Chains A and B, each alone.
Chain A
Amino acid sequence: MPVVQVEGVRKSFGAVEVLKGIDLTVERGEVIAIIGRSGSGKSTLLRCINGLEGIQAGSIEVSGHKLDASGRGLRELRKDVGIVFQSYNLFPHLRVGENIMLAPRVVLGVGKAEARQRAEEALAEVGLAERFEAWPDNLSGGQQQRVAIARSLAMKPKVMLFDEVTSALDPELTGEVLATMERLAEHGMTMLLVTHEMAFARRVATQTIFMHQGKVWEVGPSERLFGAPQTPELRQFLGTGLK
Chain B
Amino acid sequence: MIRTFSESEFLFIVASARWTLLLTLLSLLLGGLLGFIVALARTSQLAPLRMLAAGWIGMIQGIPVLMLLFLSYYGLSMGGVDMPPIVAASVSMAIYASAYLGEIWRGSIQSVAWQQWEASAALAMSRAQQYRYVILPQAVRIAVAPTVGFIVQLVKNTSIVSIIGVVELARAGNLVNNATFAPFKVFGTVAATYFIICWPISLLARRLEGRLNARRSG
Could you give, for residues 73-102 of chain A, a 1 whenever the CB lies within 8 Å of some chain B CB and a 0 otherwise? 001101101110101011111000000001
Which residues from chain B contact A217 at a C-beta distance below 8 Å? none
Q: Is A42 an interface residue (CB 8 A)?
A: no
Contact in complex: A75, B122 (CB < 8 Å): no
> Do residues B129 and A78 form an inter-chain contact, with CB atoms below 8 A?
no
Q: How close is B212's CB to chain A, nearest CB, in angstroms?
A: 9
> Given A92-B138, A135-B217 in contact, is the A106-B129 Cβ separation under 8 Å?
yes
State which of A52, A75, A137 has its C-beta within 8 Å of the C-beta of B217.
A137
Q: Are B124 and A107 neighbours in the complex by a CB distance under 8 Å? A: yes
Q: How far is B116's CA from A82's CA once the two chains are assembled, in angstroms?
A: 15
B125 to A89, Cβ gap below 8 A? no
* Residues of chain B within 8 A of A92, CB atoms compared: 138, 216
Does residue B121 face the partner (Cβ distance < 8 Å to A)? yes
Partner of B124, one of A78, A85, A93, A151: A78
Q: Mark B173-191, 1 if CB is under 8 A from A, else 0.
A: 0000000000000000000
**B141 CB, nearest partner CB in chain A, Å:** 7
CB neighbours (8 Å) of B215 from chain A are: 93
User: A138: CB under 8 A from chain B?
Assistant: yes
Is B118's CB under 8 angstroms from A137's CB? Answer: no
**B124 A135 Cβ-Cβ under 8 A:** no
Within 8 A of A (CB), among B41-78: none
Check A50 for interface membership: any CB of B closer than 8 A.
yes
- CB-CB < 8 A to A82: which residues of B? 122
A138 near B122: Cβ-Cβ < 8 Å: no
Are A93 and B137 closer than 8 Å at their CB atoms? yes
Given A89-B116, A106-B133, A138-B217: A155 touches B123 (CB 8 Å cut-off): yes
In the complex, residue of chain B having the shortest beta-carbon distance to the beta carbon of A155: B123
Q: For the side of the interface on B, what is the size category? A: 20 to 34
A150-174: which have CB < 8 Å to B?
151-152, 155
Chain A proximity of B88: nearest CB distance (Å):
40
Chain A residues with Cβ under 8 A from B137's Cβ? 93
Closest to A106 in B: B129
Contact of B121 (CB < 8 Å), options: A52, A76, A90, A138: A52
Least CB separation from A77: chain B residue = B124
In the bound complex, residues from chain B placing their C-beta under 8 Å from that of A102 are 123, 133-134
* Chain B contacts for A89, CB-based, 8 A: 113, 115-116, 118-119
Contact assessment for B129 and A107 in the assembled complex, using a CB-CB cutoff below 8 Å: yes
* In the complex, chain B residues 119-156 whose Cβ is within 8 Å of any chain A Cβ: 119-126, 129, 133-134, 137-138, 141
Asked if A103 is at the interface of the complex by the 8 Å CB criterion, the answer is: yes
Supposing A92-B216, A135-B216, A135-B217 touch, asked if A103 and B118 sit within 8 A by C-beta, the answer is no
Instruction: Please state if B122 and A50 are interface contacts (CB–CB under 8 Å).
Output: yes
Chain A min CB distance to B101 (Å):
21
CB distance from B216 to the nearest CB of A (A): 6
Which residues of the partner chain A approach B79 to less than 8 Å between Cβ atoms? Answer: none
With contact pairs A89-B116, A92-B216 given, residues A83 and B133 touching in the complex (Cβ less than 8 Å): no
Closest CB pairs A-B (n = 9): A89-B119, A103-B123, A78-B124, A89-B115, A79-B124, A83-B122, A107-B124, A93-B137, A137-B217
A-B contact pairs, 23 of them (CB 8 A): A52-B118, A75-B124, A78-B121, A78-B122, A78-B123, A78-B124, A83-B122, A89-B116, A91-B138, A92-B216, A93-B215, A102-B123, A102-B134, A103-B120, A106-B125, A107-B129, A135-B216, A135-B218, A137-B216, A137-B217, A148-B119, A152-B123, A155-B123
